[in-house]
Amino acid sequence: MIDLYTWTTPNGRKVSIMLEELGVAYNAHPIDISKGEQFAPEFLKIAPNNRIPAIVDHETGISMMETGAIMLYLAEKYERFLPEGDEKWPAIEWLMWQMGGVGPMFGQVHHFVKYNRGKSSYAEERYSTEAKRLYGVLNTRLEGRDFIAGAGRGEYSIADMATWPWVSRFEWQEVDLNDYPNVKEWYLRIAGRPAVQRGYQVPKYTTEVPMP
């Protein structure tokens, strides 16, 4: 059994979607970051960086924070959603692209454009421009492909599961997915998966999956 400590954020949904796709037993524990619950001493023992999500795998005794590490751990443990052979490294490469680019930059757009508009026009322009650049990178990558990594047209992997929840907030980023047709097709392809629909509502229902 796995305990998942999470909230209704893109980072939290990355792991809940993966657990749903794996079909493994897990318990979701809400950590309401709007109330500062991530700073509770008990959560600190599991996640020293005070950030969700985190997991405790009671089968192995391993506790882990940081979504990239969690997803790689789960992929290796269950031998799913990480391509084999030469295709393994592109999947990890694009996972790191999400971790180092999409997550931090889109998050800054949410902070300055959605929640603090008017505080800094420089920050709004800087992060919005970078977010749109990253959408362009993804749109180019998905040309002729169904998924981000894998041979041929691609293979659904942790690279997709990591990136999709951030793209699901395209409205927060004031991005029109029609401007990125390959991204839009990829987004809708993944949004239709039952496990994604379930994982999106962990640890609680907020809204339906956004549709462009």
- pLDDT at position 199 is 98
Strand order in the sheet with 26-30: 26-30, 2-6, 54-57, 62-65
For residue 59, the SS3 value is coil
Binned average pLDDT, 10 residues per bin, the chain of 212 residues: 98 98 98 97 96 98 98 98 96 98 98 96 98 98 98 97 98 98 98 98 97 96
Other C-beta atoms lying within 10 Å of the C-beta of residue 66: 16
- pLDDT at position 105 is 98
Supply the pTM of this predicted model: 0.97
Other C-beta atoms lying within 10 Å of the C-beta of residue 201: 17
Closest CA to 187 of 208, 160, 155, 207: 160
Closest CA to 34 of 67, 4, 8, 3: 8
- pLDDT at position 11 is 98
DSSP output for 60-81: TTEEEESHHHHHHHHHHHHT-S
**In terms of DSSP H, where are the helices of 3-100?**
10-22, 41-46, 67-78, 88-97
- pLDDT at position 10 is 98
For residue 111, the SS3 value is helix
- Residue ranges of the domains in the chain? 2-81, 85-193
Q: Do domains 2-81 and 85-193 have the same CATH topology?
A: no
- pLDDT at position 50 is 96
Tell me the CATH number for domain 85-193: 1.20.1050.10
Third-level CATH fold of 2-81: Glutaredoxin (3.40.30)
